[in-house]
Amino acid sequence: MAGYPSVNWWPRNLRPYESALSFVARFCALNGVPARAGTAFLGVEPRHLGFASDDDVARVSSLLGEDPARLADVLQHALDFRQCGTYAPPAAYSQGPSVRYCAACAQQGYHSYLHEVPWLTKCPIHLTALTTVPANRTGNIGERRLGAFKRLMQGHCAAWPHFAPDGFPTREPGALLTLAAWVRDACDASKRMQAGELWRSEAGTHRGAVTMTQALGQLHTLTPLPTELEPLLADRGGAWVVHQARFPRAVSRELARLGERGLRFDSLFAFYKDSGDTSEGSPAWYCQAVQQQIRQRHGTCGCRWERVKAGFGEFCWIQIPPDELGEASRQCPFEVALQDLELDWGSRGRALPSRLAQQEMYRFLKESHAMRDAGVLSYKEGAQVSPDGYLYLMQRVWPCCEWIWDSPLLGLFRTAARWEIDSEHRAITRWLDDIEAGSPPSHRQDPVYCVRLRSDEQGASLLHWRSADHRGRG
């Protein structure tokens, strides 16, 4: 289309919250060009959602004379949770070969990007369920979606690609204004919660990702969801609660001192967890208490599932024949849960295979030099130390080290570890509950970012997020 003297488009032809898919499809129909040519001319890929740059917006505005603010809304999704950062729901990076739409909106020749975001299940204008139609034609995904969308709109609206200049959808906003206000407030609350954040927990052996239920549940806690929006949103599960523990200013000063030496909290905390502290209140001590609870729940094994090696370091689950139930030395779900806890919080040298344990020992030994130089580590009596003050390699290095007992960080570490173990225990409980209810064992997807460290003018504080559901759903 580069050789055309002009294009058939006019300012404010885009409607509020219109989808890029609708924009490109209407442009192609108004100019009588195939999908591939129109997409190439605009440089807009209707498969990808809301990731256009400011330069893309300025370029398309220059091509069409369209309002830059309206284009930014359409191409960058102004009504979106991305500004929530790590509190945001999981993003839909691209759409497959299908189109989700509202039939009532389609009768107006209208389609919004809000119809295809994964966190909404109903149209925010008409409050009706959304419908998904497949795109069965040939071509790439973008072309298939454009073809399906064109057929869909022509079947619902005789005037498409034109529309009546009656102000829709702003004339009939439905819950749009309330939704936009709640999303804005939720983003603002998330930014405040993340201000000064120094660290957030990952998961252990079974690291998952932020799920829709976790994200929406936490956002609802930060900014209560208006009642009229509750039917619109995807299942947000149970409520989430957040607990806060504050620590003396000496903790912030010590973190700043160590940070100047290049030692961040994540490396300090990881080293402390590996240092082999087994005293009361330590991660290993708390881990053992949780393991004992799991053993008591297990009792005499009657599990119907066993984990076996599947080759190439992988495992699979097989059902145990009824006449073999109760046999010892099986890796049943309870034994696997105990092993996972030991690997994450117990004795790594004992829990890891010998080759990996040796690699971990080398890493630990190297990091111990920086920790000792920073004055946060001491060697236990009997440790073999070289003349320059570092541990010799030819020994088990984990039991040789201990954190300085008067360190202001000790209480911070123990609280963070206890809360992380609690999060893992809740995920294990949910997993075991599901198996006992008849579900086959699956790979656990433990929630992440449930423990967060932040610092402000009042000092350091830890936040502990957890589902109010007794089974720890997230």
Domain boundaries, the chain: 20-156
Q: Dump pLDDT digits (tens) for 379-401.
A: 888 888 888 888 877 777 777 88
Give the pLDDT score at 428. Answer: 94
Q: What angle do CA 179, 466, 452 make, to 5 degrees?
A: 90
Closest CA to 343 of 207, 460, 159: 207
More confident residue, 474 or 353: 353
Closest CA to 95 of 46, 35, 40: 46
Q: Which residue has the tokens 């423990």?
A: 451
| Whole-angstrom distance, CA of residue 136 vs CA of residue 114 | 23
Does 375 have pLDDT greater than 80? yes
Q: What is the mean pLDDT of the chain?
A: 87
The residues that bridge with 94 in the sheet, in sequence order, are 48
| Whole-angstrom distance, CA of residue 419 vs CA of residue 229 | 32
Mean pLDDT check: name the lowest of 18-27, 148-157, 397-406, 455-464: 397-406
Does 374 have pLDDT greater than 70? yes
Give the pLDDT score at 352. Answer: 57
Give the pLDDT score at 97. Answer: 80
Question: In the structure, what pLDDT confidence band is assigned to residue 270 with cuts at 50, 70 and 90?
Answer: confident
**What does pTM read for this prediction?**
0.86
